[in-house]
Structure 1
Amino acid sequence: MLLNIRHTTVYAFEAPMRFVTQSHRLTPVSNGGQKVRSWSISAEGAEFGAAFTDGAGDRVTTMTVQGPVDRIEILVAGEVETADTTGVLRGHRELVSPVTYLQPTAATAPTGALAELVKKTVEAAHGTELSRAHRFSEVVSEAIAYVPGSTHAHTTAAEAVELGEGVCQDHAHALIAIAQAGGLPARYASGYLLADDEAAESDASHAWAEINIAGLGWVGFDPANACCPDERYVRLGSGRDAREAAPIRGVSRGGVGEALDVRVEIAQRQQ
């Protein structure tokens, strides 16, 4: 499948910033499930530093904008050829040991209602690591109803389980917590998803969890859509949680606040 992607992020500052520096995980890496045919990142007035591949095998670039600046628009555009690998992350080179992803973060800590769900789920799960991972994903799908706008960027997995509602970020965090409690390394993956096999526009990128399975390596699970990533997905990067895997992270100097607007448009092209 050929996917055309256009991802626009606009920052509007209440007062001009003296400078803005960002780290971007906005460039997909070619692997067994995706081949990057073309890709570009641009922003008027910005200087881009040298790109590098981090220990997790993800592409990272830096961007700096010297002020005064009251608005920044970052445009990502490209084309990726994808294939269905039944969720298995094939041909992705990385140096970080999977055991690194056994440690919870503040977002994935199994507390409150999540602790109860973790205990019940792990004790009841049997079979191979792969079958257990699938069951963990099913439990998360059942425990957290997908309701856009019901949570925010700083909502923890425990809070989403208590609420019973959330978005893909919450599903991924909860699945990570359960998998780790079951002894399986798990991490957060960010990227894009083509909805309904047609051109679609959304206000955010997508997220899912990856669980390390003996003999297979990293396998993706998307509880929000009750499936494993297939040819509709494009993977950007990973981390222990949403903060670490965020497509854009940065610091700025000056100003008192900002408004953020994100638009993602994905269309399938005929090969």
Structure 2
Amino acid sequence: MRIRVFHETNYTYEHPARNLIQVLRLRPRDHDGQYVRRWRIEPSIDGRISEREDGFGNVVHWFTADEPAESLTIRVTGEVDTNEMHGVVRGTVERLPDEFYLRDSDLALASEPIQAFARAVREAGDASPLPCLHRLLAAVHEKVVFEPGPTSASTTAAQSFEQAKGVCQDLTHIFIAAARHLEIPTRYVSGYFHRDDGMVDQEAGHSWVESLVPNLGWVGFDPAHGIATTEAHIRVAVGLDYLGAAPIRGSRMGGGTETLDVKLRVEQSQATVQS
């Protein structure tokens, strides 16, 4: 599948904001089943942009504005070729030991209710990692209703689990917390998802998880949709939770109230992908 992405993040400030710095994790990397044909990141104002790699192996761009600004737009355009890997993730850049992804993280801590939920999933059948993860995928998808709006970027897994509703980020954090409680290394993934229902205009990017399965490697699970990852997923960045893989995080001085608007279009290109 060839997927075309147009992603525009618009910030408007009440007063000119000074010392604007934006940390961007917006560029996907090549790996088995994913090839980046073209990708461009364009800030709307003058400044300096540098590329580096973070500790997770993500491509990170640092943008520093030259002058105070009343608004800033970060525009991303690109095309990616994907192949069906049935959830198995291979050929990725790995900078950390697998056991690192057993660490607790602020947004994905397993509260006592999540721990009990995870144990019940494990005890419901074959306790080996792969079948257990598939049951966990189904259980999270059934337990937590996808509902845009009730949570924020700082909402924890425990809070989302208690409310039993949230967005893809929230379901992802609950899955991570439960899987780590079961001693399965699991990480947060941010990226894009091409919907098959004809809805190409979306409100935000997507998130899912990757869990480590012995003798198979990293496997992607999308609890928001209740499926293993497919060729419709574009993998961009990973982290222990959202904070390590957030598409854009930044800082500024002054500026007053900030208004954020996101435009995202993810569609299948009509061009033929050569096998």
Per the normalisation by structure 1, the TM-score is 0.95
How far apart, CA to CA, are the structure 1 residues paired with 2:191 and 2:81? 14
How far apart, CA to CA, are the structure 2 residues paired with 1:180 and 1:65? 39
Partner SS, residue 50 of structure 1: strand
Structure 2 counterpart of 1:75, which letter? R
Deviation track 1:201-224 (CA, whole Å, cap 9, x = no partner) reads 111000001111112221110011
| TM superposition shift of 1:160 | 1.2
Structure 1 counterpart of 2:236, which letter? L
Indicate the residue corresponding to 2:98 in structure 1. 98
Indicate the residue corresponding to 1:201 in structure 2. 201
Please state if 1:128 is matched with 2:128.
yes
Structure 1 counterpart of 2:128, which letter? T
Structure 2 counterpart of 1:162, which letter? E
- Residue segments in structure 1 that go unaligned for 5+ positions in a row: none
Give the number of aligned pairs: 271
For 1:1-271, list aligned pairs within 5 A: 1-196=1-196, 198=198, 200-270=200-270, 271=272
**Contact 1:199–1:268 (8 Å) recurs in 2:** no
| TM superposition shift of 1:22 | 1.3
Partner SS, residue 260 of structure 1: strand
| TM superposition shift of 1:125 | 4.9
**Contact 1:208–1:222 (8 Å) recurs in 2:** yes
| TM superposition shift of 1:197 | 5.7
Partner SS, residue 126 of structure 1: coil
**Contact 1:55–1:94 (8 Å) recurs in 2:** no
How far apart, CA to CA, are the structure 2 residues paired with 1:52 and 1:216? 30
| TM superposition shift of 1:8 | 0.2
Partner SS, residue 51 of structure 1: strand
List structure 1 segments (4+ residues) > 6 angstroms apart after TM superposition.
Answer: none
Deviation track 1:214-259 (CA, whole Å, cap 9, x = no partner) reads 1222111001101111111101101011111101111111222211
**Contact 1:9–1:261 (8 Å) recurs in 2:** yes
Deviation track 1:40-61 (CA, whole Å, cap 9, x = no partner) reads 0001224343312333222111
Per the normalisation by structure 2, the TM-score is 0.94
- Residue segments in structure 2 that go unaligned for 5+ positions in a row: none
**Contact 2:118–2:136 (8 Å) recurs in 1:** no
Identify if the C-alpha distance between structure 1 residues 97 and 37 changes in structure 2 by more than 3 Å, giving closer, same or farther. Answer: same
Partner SS, residue 88 of structure 2: coil
Partner SS, residue 67 of structure 2: strand
Partner SS, residue 50 of structure 2: coil
Identify if the C-alpha distance between structure 1 residues 268 and 73 changes in structure 2 by more than 3 Å, giving closer, same or farther. Answer: same
How far apart, CA to CA, are the structure 2 residues paired with 1:48 and 1:116? 49
How far apart, CA to CA, are the structure 2 residues paired with 1:263 and 1:33? 27
Partner SS, residue 29 of structure 1: coil
How far apart, CA to CA, are the structure 2 residues paired with 1:68 and 1:131? 53
Deviation track 1:159-195 (CA, whole Å, cap 9, x = no partner) reads 1111111111011001101110111111100000011
**Contact 1:114–1:162 (8 Å) recurs in 2:** no
Percent identical across equivalent pairs? 37
How far apart, CA to CA, are the structure 1 residues paired with 2:96 and 2:62? 21
Identify if the C-alpha distance between structure 1 residues 251 and 205 changes in structure 2 by more than 3 Å, giving closer, same or farther. Answer: same
